[in-house]
Amino acid sequence: MSSKERPTLGGTRIKTRKRNIAAPLDPAAFADAVVQIYLDNAGDLELIPKSIESSDLNFSRYGDTFFEVVFTGGRTQPGTTKPDEGERHPYSIIDCEPKREIILPSVIYIQKILRRRPFLIKNLENVMRRFLQSLELFEENERKKLAIFTALAFSQKLSGLPPETVFQPLLKDNLVAKGLVLSFMTDFFKEYLVDNSLDDLISILKRGKVEDNLLDFFPSAKRSAECFSEHFTKEGLIPLVEYNEKKTFEVKLKEMKSALTTQIAEEADITEVIETVKQKVKDAKLPDIEVVRVLWDVLMDAVQWSGKNQQQNANSALRQVKTWAELLNTFCTNGKLELELIYKVQMQCYEDAKLMKLFPEIVRSLYDQDVLAEDTILHWFRKGTNPKGRQTFVKALEPFVNWLEEAEEEE
């Protein structure tokens, strides 16, 4: 072998590294191909998924474009809901009638697509978010179809579509101010509750982080409990009205309890505390019976209970009753409210073992401070309806009742 010749390995091919060649971005061609599948199958949502499955369309790259075609029949212009150039089909969600039985097949169709291509859920979110943020660009009839689709999508548990994807984009000031959000949510509520319970709806709203802010769907001028009740009562959504009233009531009750807890912890003047309660009751229109319940809970929560020392517990409870008797007296204004207070004492002593033996002493103290009338105590003793611990407490209170009856006879 000549010294100038280079050695070679017989039968060996030298491999060269291939470069990754990116396919050109062409959403228009992709959209036209999907539209053609719709047209070839005459909008048959049973046949279209099969044609899509057998195609070599690049869904991973053009997922958003695919859902534009599903919703609107073709591509939309970037940043709008307006049709773009290219082929279109007449079988879209926007083009159909605003009826659940017409739109439901589209929801099931999308579910089939997402099961085969779960990565497309993000593209569905993107397109829905964009459309909902642009509600003013749709006609009223089209907005209704979107609301029905959304309700059915949640009802059918459409591949884990997150509620926040739907509800958060709606809370744009201009959409709310025009009443578009309230109209959309009303259609959504009505449609969703056809197949689902109110608890299911509340669960969806919680996950969407709007459960505590339902009034945010109303224009600012109508953002009140009265407007909420009036609107949804008119729309036939009585369970939702009742739920919101209960929710509002609980919030106001919690606010009063928090304010009282702070004042009592700071040992505020009793007249100041009474005025606070009166103002809260007036503002929130709280029922008297709930006020009595809250007062007792707050007063007892402020007591520093000892673990096992019964005498210390008794002294602490009785001291609290004596200190705040005027507060209790102000709001226990009749026999019914006094009886409710006894029931609160009964329940607390029944549920807390360390307080079990304190029941007669607390009742006696409330009597001594003129919070409980003799007739109320005797009524509870003879006809009380709460069975929890009643037999034990009646026996424990018997000596005091005997004393009351003897005193009454002497008079």
Q: Is residue 242 part of a domain?
A: no
Full domain range(s) for residue 124: 27-236
Answer yes or no: are the C-beta atoms of 341 and 296 closer than 8 Å: yes
Same-domain pairing of 351 and 215:
no
Same-domain pairing of 334 and 192:
no
Same-domain pairing of 201 and 340:
no
Answer whether residue 30 shows pLDDT above 50.
yes
Beta-carbon contacts of 55 under 8 Å, excluding residues fewer than 6 positions away, are: 33, 37
How would residue 409 be classed by pLDDT, with cut points 50, 70 and 90? low
Q: Is residue 246 part of a domain?
A: no
Query: Which comes out higher in pLDDT, residue 70 or 407?
Result: 70
Question: What's the structural domain count of the chain?
Answer: 2
Same-domain pairing of 205 and 298:
no
Q: Of 236, 268, 301, which closes a domain?
A: 236
CATH for 299: 1.25.40.180
Answer whether residue 308 shows pLDDT above 70.
no
Which pLDDT value is given to residue 148?
96
Same-domain pairing of 215 and 310:
no
pTM over 0.85: no
Q: What is the pLDDT of residues 239-297, one digit of tens each?
A: 999 999 888 888 888 999 999 999 998 989 999 999 999 998 888 888 999 999 999 99
Q: Is residue 170 part of a domain?
A: yes
Which pLDDT value is given to residue 304?
81
Same-domain pairing of 310 and 232:
no
Q: Is residue 208 part of a domain?
A: yes
Over residues 406-411, the mean pLDDT reads 66
Cα distances from 276 to residues 249, 254, 262, 270, 279, in angstroms, run: 17, 14, 11, 10, 5
Answer yes or no: are the C-beta atoms of 365 and 321 closer than 8 Å: yes
Over residues 320-331, the mean pLDDT reads 93
Same-domain pairing of 101 and 226:
yes
Same-domain pairing of 201 and 326:
no
Which pLDDT value is given to residue 164?
83
Q: Is residue 162 part of a domain?
A: yes
Same-domain pairing of 396 and 332:
yes
Is 49 exposed, middle or buried (CB count within 10 Å of its CB: 0-12, 13-18, 19+)?
buried
Same-domain pairing of 100 and 231:
yes
Q: Of 221, 236, 251, which closes a domain?
A: 236
Answer whether residue 33 shows pLDDT above 60.
yes
Q: Is residue 285 part of a domain?
A: no
Which pLDDT value is given to residue 202?
94
As a whole number, the mean pLDDT across the chain is 88
Structure token digits, residue 146: 């979107």
Q: Is residue 66 part of a domain?
A: yes
Same-domain pairing of 129 and 60:
yes
Same-domain pairing of 187 and 332:
no
Q: Is residue 249 part of a domain?
A: no
How would residue 329 be classed by pLDDT, with cut points 50, 70 and 90? very high
Which pLDDT value is given to residue 14?
45
Q: What is the pLDDT of residues 98-156, one digit of tens each?
A: 999 999 999 999 999 999 999 999 999 999 999 999 999 999 999 999 999 999 999 98
Q: Of 236, 256, 277, which closes a domain?
A: 236
